[in-house]
Every structure is written in structure tokens, then in C-alpha cells.
């Protein structure tokens, strides 16, 4: 009887597979160039507001929307879209996973310019990623919609109050010319924007790519 139990446990251990993906993290970073003081992060009314939505679709749906490109023999997706009407079309072909928002003030404090959002994936999404390892045609793709608003003013009187819209894409797989698949790191996504001081003293908002 003991041998039977040991054998059954061994078979179960061999057949049970770990999930490919159970959670993800999104890191938002607000940077300054050259220093926080130069761009007004130390102003008492400075703030940074972020709203985000994370969706899931499939690479094939992105192809239908014309976002597929070829670069150096690899398939990839446009990493930035700022068209609200186009975003609506994407959302219709996608499943919402999570949404949230945050506001940070006192931007001269370093901990207020970096926020990490952990997201636990629901069982149906976990299963989608598990199935994608077995079916080459399946390529689940995260779509991250972000709206950021920054307001700063430096000691020289230069100020910036701007809203920034971005949509980023993160497919699970990419393929080379030999038709073999490799996997992107989809567990960790990051979005960096920066307030920079121009040569004429004015402030501008730059960056915005999803990595």
C-alpha cells in the first residue's frame, strides 16, 4: 500500500506543471533632468498623477488592427499609441485585468517618484498563458493604457503642467526567421517619463516607452 502511495505521488509530481505566469508588476518612474530642483520637484504644489488600465488580448487581434511590424527579423508591436479612438478599438478586442490610480506629491522625495504595482492574475488568465506554451499560434499580449499628469515649477519660474497619454504592448512571444518562438519577460513592465530642463530654461516632458 505504501509503495502504491509513493508511486501515485511520484506520478502526480511529474504531471503537475507550474503555471507560466501568476502575477505581474508594473513600475512607474518619474525622473528629472538634470536634478529634481532644476525641474521644480521641490515646489510645494508639485504633483504626479497616474491612471492605468491593464488589458489582455492576443497578438492576432493586434495584427488585425495593423500594429504588427518587422524589425531585424523579429516580430514586435508598436510600443506607443496616443490615439483615443484607436484605443477604444483595442479595448473592444481585449479583456480588462486591472485598473488603478495614484497621486504623489513632494516629488523631491525619491520614494515619491517610483511606484510599483503588483497584480495577481485571475485563474482564467493564468490558464491562457499555460495554453500558450502548448499552442504556437496563441500569443497573449498585455495592453497597458496609461494617463499621467505632471505639475511642477522651479525656482526660476519655469513651470510645466502637462497630461501624457500612452498605450504600451507586451506580447508573450516573438519569432525569428527560423519560425521558432522565444519568450519576452512579461512579468515585469516599466514606464518611465522624465521632466527635463531645456537649454532655453523651459521645462518639457519626455519618455514614455513601456519596457
* pLDDT digits 0-9 by tens, 121-180: 999 999 999 999 999 889 999 999 999 999 999 999 999 999 888 888 888 987 655 666
33 in any annotated domain: yes
Instruction: Say if 34 falls within a structural domain.
Output: yes
Q: Is residue 143 part of a domain?
A: yes
User: How many domains in the chain?
Assistant: 1
Determine the Cα–Cα distance for residues 182 and 138; give it in Å rounded to an integer.
13
Residue 158 lies in a domain: yes
Q: In this predicted structure, what is the pLDDT of residue 208?
A: 67
- Domain encompassing residue 105: 20-210
Is there a contact between 53 and 96 (Cβ–Cβ < 8 Å)?
Answer: yes
In a domain, 12, yes or no: no
Alpha-carbon radius of gyration of the chain? 22
**Rounded Cα distance, 109 and 88, in Å:** 36
pTM metric for this prediction: 0.83
In what helix (H) or strand (E) does residue 180 lie, and over which residues does it extend?
none
Instruction: Please indicate, yes or no, if residue 83 is contained in any of the structural domains.
Output: yes
Backbone angles phi, psi at 97, to 5 degrees: -105, -45
Q: What pLDDT was estimated at residue 179?
A: 62
| pLDDT of res. 164 | 85
- Give the separation between CA 211 and CA 207, rounded to whole angstroms: 11
Q: Which three cell numbers stand for residue 153?
A: 515649477
| The pLDDT value given to residue 150 | 97
Residues in the chain, pLDDT under 70: 1-17, 68-83, 175-180, 208-211
Q: Looking at the domain assignment, is residue 14 inside a domain?
A: no
Q: How far, in Å, CA of 53 to CA of 198, rounded?
A: 32
Task: Tell whether 111 is covered by a domain.
Answer: yes
**Alpha-carbon span 206 to 194, nearest angstrom:** 5
The confidence score (pLDDT) of residue 176 equals 56
Amino acid at each position: 500500500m505504501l509503495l502504491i502511495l509513493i508511486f501515485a505521488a511520484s506520478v502526480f509530481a511529474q504531471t503537475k506543471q507550474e503555471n507560466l505566469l501568476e502575477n505581474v508588476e508594473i513600475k512607474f518612474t518619474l525622473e528629472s533632468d538634470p536634478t529634481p530642483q532644476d525641474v521644480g520637484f521641490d515646489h510645494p504644489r508639485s504633483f504626479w498623477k497616474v491612471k492605468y488600465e491593464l488589458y489582455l488580448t492576443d497578438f492576432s487581434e493586434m495584427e488585425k488592427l495593423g500594429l504588427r511590424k518587422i524589425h531585424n527579423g523579429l516580430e514586435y508591436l508598436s510600443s506607443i499609441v496616443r490615439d483615443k479612438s484607436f484605443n477604444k478599438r483595442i479595448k473592444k478586442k481585449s479583456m480588462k485585468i486591472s485598473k488603478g490610480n495614484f497621486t504623489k506629491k513632494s516629488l523631491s522625495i525619491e520614494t515619491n517618484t517610483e511606484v510599483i504595482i503588483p497584480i495577481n492574475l485571475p485563474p482564467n488568465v493564468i490558464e491562457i498563458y499555460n495554453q500558450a506554451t502548448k499552442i504556437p499560434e496563441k500569443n497573449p499580449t498585455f495592453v497597458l493604457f496609461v494617463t499621467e499628469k505632471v505639475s511642477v515649477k522651479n525656482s526660476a519660474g519655469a513651470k510645466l503642467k502637462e497630461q501624457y497619454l500612452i498605450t504600451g504592448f507586451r506580447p508573450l512571444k516573438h519569432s525569428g526567421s527560423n519560425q521558432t518562438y522565444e519568450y519576452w519577460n512579461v512579468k515585469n513592465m516599466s514606464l518611465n517619463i522624465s521632466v527635463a530642463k531645456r537649454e532655453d530654461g523651459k521645462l518639457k516632458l519626455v519618455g514614455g516607452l513601456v519596457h
